[in-house]
């Protein structure tokens, strides 16, 4: 089964973006990898506190 990848547009202060790029490069990672890791950690923390997030159907999970 093919995995769908979604794009996300982000409005961010230019100075904060420069700092984020610096942090990602410091760890020898891309900003995309770093952002994905941060999102995964955020969801895992939320689920640890509130329980696993469940969707009724596939459409909800792809949105």
Between CA 53 and CA 31, with CA 38 as vertex, the angle to 5 degrees is 135
Task: Write the DSSP symbol of residue 58.
Answer: H
Q: Considering the domain boundaries, does residue 27 fall inside one?
A: yes
Q: Is residue 39 part of a domain?
A: yes
Going by C-alpha positions, the residue among 48, 53, 49 that lies closest to residue 63 is 53
Taking each helix axis from N to C end, the angle separating 14-26 and 31-50, rounded to the nearest 10 degrees, works out to 90
Model pTM score: 0.74
Report the domain count for the chain: 1
pLDDT of the residue at 60: 45
pLDDT tens for the 63 residues of the chain, in order: 567 888 999 999 999 999 999 999 999 999 999 999 999 999 999 999 999 999 887 544 444
Which residue range forms the structural domain that includes residue 21?
Answer: 14-50
Report the C-alpha gap between 23 and 19 in whole angstroms. Answer: 6
């Amino acid at each position: 089964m093919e995995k769908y990848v979604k794009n996300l547009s982000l409005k961010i202060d230019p100075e904060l973006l420069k700092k984020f790029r610096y942090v990602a490069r410091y760890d020898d990672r891309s900003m995309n990898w770093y952002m994905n890791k941060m999102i995964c950690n955020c969801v895992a923390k939320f689920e640890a506190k509130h329980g696993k997030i469940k969707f009724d159907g596939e459409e909800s999970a792809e949105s």
